[in-house]
């Protein structure tokens, strides 16, 4: 049954439950599963393992980011085949189902900017954001355990560090063990956000004090063209979470840390980045370099010290982030 869940979630004609109308349940080794909403599956252990945490694992918040969806498929297949035994509650989420079907980042608006409790926008993506916020609220309320959320993505550009974590800005502090766990999972860099960003991982950290991250796991590719071997560390981390085992611990010297200094916002139609579309994430620009032109905001020029550019995208909606400007910083203590 679980092996069909991914496929049936992506079948536009399949009738799946909505929150409030609970869906089918079934057994998995060590526990059971329940479908709460389209693309939302909860795994419930019969018994909690000693290191169990309540863990949200999401993929496909952007529909063309397929590697994390394939990783989730392989992870659930190992559970169903009896190679893993459930020891912790896990909420598995496929985010933007229609965008996944169409193979696009989003259909109308970027779902990963909508995770805000007072959201008053209308449309399919705002409705999905409200649905996902409700299932996450209910999941964390059901399980009085440490809260964790890994929201898995892939990046549009190449990257000097193909696998990296984005730490959302929020009052809750990141447990140092998380950095060691992410190092063991193969993250090559980590980026501290400098302000609220209303992403899905930010939602769990800000409203639920979860240990939450956006994880960039390579580059956007179509289904079937992903290198899952490069994600073996991430697979090991997910397996430990599912079994309620202690997560592996890696060496922080293998991770480069950065902090965001500025978000470059697109403020007008007349907006352009002044460097090639192909520029990889974390490419550094010297003081005095003109990075962007905006008809309203004017030019953005590097000041004081070099900056590196992450997530450059001139095609974003008006008022949205067109790039993060970041600088290296020491590893967290
Ligand atoms: O490569 C890109 O430009 C975007 C990749 C992506 O979807 N990244 C996330 C990061 C979210 C965060 O800042 O935590 C996004 O833009 O939503
Ligand atoms: Zn994404």
Please give the full DSSP string across 216-276, using - where no structure is assigned: EEEE---TT---GGGGHHHHHHHHHHHHTPPPP---GGGSEEEEEEEEEE--SSSEEESS-
Residues in Cβ contact with 142 at an 8 Å cutoff, skipping those fewer than 6 apart: 54, 89
How far, in Å, from the CA of 63 to the mean position of ligand 2? 8
Q: Which of 311, 317, 322, 323 for mutating ligand 1's site (highest number of atoms within 8 Å of CB)? A: 311
**Does one domain contain both 285 and 180?**
no
Q: What integer pLDDT is reported at residue 333 of this predicted model?
A: 83
How far, in Å, from the CA of 179 to the mean position of ligand 1? 19
* pLDDT band per the 50, 70, 90 thresholds, residue 17: low
Which H helix or E strand runs over 205? helix 200-208
CATH code of the domain covering residue 271: 2.40.50.630
Asked if residue 62 belongs to a known ligand binding site, the reply is: yes
Residue 199 domain-assigned?
A: yes
User: Is 166 touching ligand 1 by the criterion CB < 6 Å?
Assistant: yes
Tokens of 244: 């309620």
Q: Are 86 and 281 in contact (CB under 8 A)?
A: no
Q: Is the pLDDT of residue 139 over 80?
A: yes
User: Is 94 touching ligand 1 by the criterion CB < 6 Å?
Assistant: no
Q: For atom 13 of ligand 1, which residue has the closest CA?
A: 166
Catalytic annotation, pick one of 16, 80, 125, 216: 216
Q: For atom 3 of ligand 1, which residue has the closest CA?
A: 311
Q: Which DSSP category does 280 fall into?
A: P
Average pLDDT (318-330) is 96
**Does one domain contain both 238 and 265?**
no
Average pLDDT (310-329) is 96
How far, in Å, from the CA of 111 to the mean position of ligand 2? 9
137: buried, middle or exposed (CB in 10 Å: 19+, 13-18, 0-12)?
Answer: middle
Residue 333 domain-assigned?
A: no
Work out the percent of the chain whose per-residue pLDDT is above 70: 96
**Does one domain contain both 88 and 209?**
yes
Residue 165 domain-assigned?
A: yes
Residue 65 domain-assigned?
A: yes
Residue 227 domain-assigned?
A: yes
User: Is 216 marked active-site?
Assistant: yes
Q: Is the pLDDT of residue 49 over 70?
A: yes
Total of domains in the chain:
2
**Does one domain contain both 202 and 225?**
yes
170: buried, middle or exposed (CB in 10 Å: 19+, 13-18, 0-12)?
Answer: buried
Domain boundary among 229, 254, 279: 254
* pLDDT band per the 50, 70, 90 thresholds, residue 205: very high
**Does one domain contain both 237 and 271?**
no
Residues in Cβ contact with 13 at an 8 Å cutoff, skipping those fewer than 6 apart: none
* pLDDT band per the 50, 70, 90 thresholds, residue 163: very high
81: buried, middle or exposed (CB in 10 Å: 19+, 13-18, 0-12)?
Answer: exposed
Domain boundary among 221, 254, 287: 254
Q: What integer pLDDT is reported at residue 2 of this predicted model?
A: 74
Q: Is the pLDDT of residue 147 over 80?
A: yes
**Does one domain contain both 110 and 202?**
yes
Residue 332 domain-assigned?
A: no
- Atom of ligand 1 minimally distant from the CA of 193: 13
Asked if residue 65 belongs to a known ligand binding site, the reply is: yes
**Does one domain contain both 300 and 316?**
yes
Residue 211 domain-assigned?
A: yes
**CA-to-CA distance for 264 and 307, rounded, in angstroms?**
12
How confident is the model over 233-254, as pLDDT tens digits?
A: 999 999 999 999 999 999 999 9
Q: Is the pLDDT of residue 19 over 80?
A: no
How far, in Å, from the CA of 155 to the mean position of ligand 1? 7
State the SS3 of 284-327.
EECCCCEEEEECCCEEEECCCCCEEEECCCCCCCCCCEEEEEEE
User: Is 159 touching ligand 1 by the criterion CB < 6 Å?
Assistant: no
User: Is 219 touching ligand 1 by the criterion CB < 6 Å?
Assistant: no
**Does one domain contain both 146 and 246?**
yes
How confident is the model over 206-218, as pLDDT tens digits?
A: 999 999 999 999 9
Residue 178 domain-assigned?
A: yes
How far, in Å, from the CA of 311 to the mean position of ligand 1? 6
Task: For residue 87, give its domain range.
Answer: 2-254
**Does one domain contain both 55 and 142?**
yes
Q: Are 233 and 186 in contact (CB under 8 A)?
A: yes
Q: Which of 114, 153, 218 for mutating ligand 1's site (highest number of atoms within 8 Å of CB)? A: 153
**Does one domain contain both 208 and 137?**
yes
**ipTM of the complex in this document:** 0.98
**Does one domain contain both 93 and 233?**
yes
Tokens of 57: 């694992």
Domain boundary among 233, 254, 275: 254
- Single pTM value for the model: 0.96
User: Is 197 touching ligand 1 by the criterion CB < 6 Å?
Assistant: yes
- Atom of ligand 1 minimally distant from the CA of 62: 7
Q: What integer best gives the mean pLDDT of the chain?
A: 95
CATH code of the domain covering residue 35: 3.40.630.10
Give the rounded distance of the alpha carbon of 48 from its chain centre. Answer: 25
**Does one domain contain both 236 and 274?**
no
Q: Is the pLDDT of residue 13 over 80?
A: no
**How does strand 307-310 pair with strand 321-328?**
antiparallel
Report the SS3 class of residue 214.
Answer: strand
Asked if residue 206 belongs to a known ligand binding site, the reply is: no
């Amino acid at each position: 049954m679980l092996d069909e869940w991914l496929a049936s979630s992506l079948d536009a004609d399949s009738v799946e439950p909505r929150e409030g109308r609970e869906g089918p349940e079934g057994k998995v080794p060590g526990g059971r599963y329940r479908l709460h909403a389209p693309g939302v599956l909860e795994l419930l252990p019969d018994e909690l393992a000693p290191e169990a945490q309540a863990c949200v694992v999401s993929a496909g918040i952007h529909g063309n980011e397929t590697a994390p969806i394939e990783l989730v498929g392989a992870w659930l297949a190992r559970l169903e085949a009896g190679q893993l035994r459930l020891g912790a509650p896990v909420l598995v989420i496929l985010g933007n189902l229609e965008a996944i079907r169409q193979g696009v980042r989003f259909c109308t608006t970027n779902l990963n900017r909508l995770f805000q409790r007072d959201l008053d926008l209308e449309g399919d993506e705002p409705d999905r954001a409200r649905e996902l916020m409700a299932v996450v609220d209910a999941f964390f309320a059901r399980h009085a355990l440490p809260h964790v959320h890994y929201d898995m993505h892939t990046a549009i550009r190449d990257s000097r560090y193909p696998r990296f974590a984005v730490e959302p800005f929020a009052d809750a502090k990141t447990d140092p063990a998380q950095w060691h766990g992410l190092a063991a999972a193969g993250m090559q860099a980590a980026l501290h956000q400098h302000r609220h960003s209303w992403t899905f991982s930010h939602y769990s950290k800000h409203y639920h004090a979860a240990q939450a991250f956006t994880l960039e796991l390579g580059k956007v590719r179509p289904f079937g063209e992903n290198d899952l071997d490069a994600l073996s560390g991430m697979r090991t981390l997910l397996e430990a979470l599912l079994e309620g085992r202690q997560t592996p611990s890696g060496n922080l010297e293998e991770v480069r840390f950065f902090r965001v200094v500025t978000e470059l916002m697109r403020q007008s139609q007349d907006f352009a980045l002044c460097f090639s579309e192909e520029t990889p994430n974390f490419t550094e620009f010297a003081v005095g370099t003109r990075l962007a032109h905006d008809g309203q905001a004017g030019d953005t020029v590097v000041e004081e010290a070099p900056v590196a550019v992450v997530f450059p995208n001139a095609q974003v909606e008006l008022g949205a982030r067109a790039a993060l400007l970041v600088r290296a910083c020491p590893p967290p203590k």
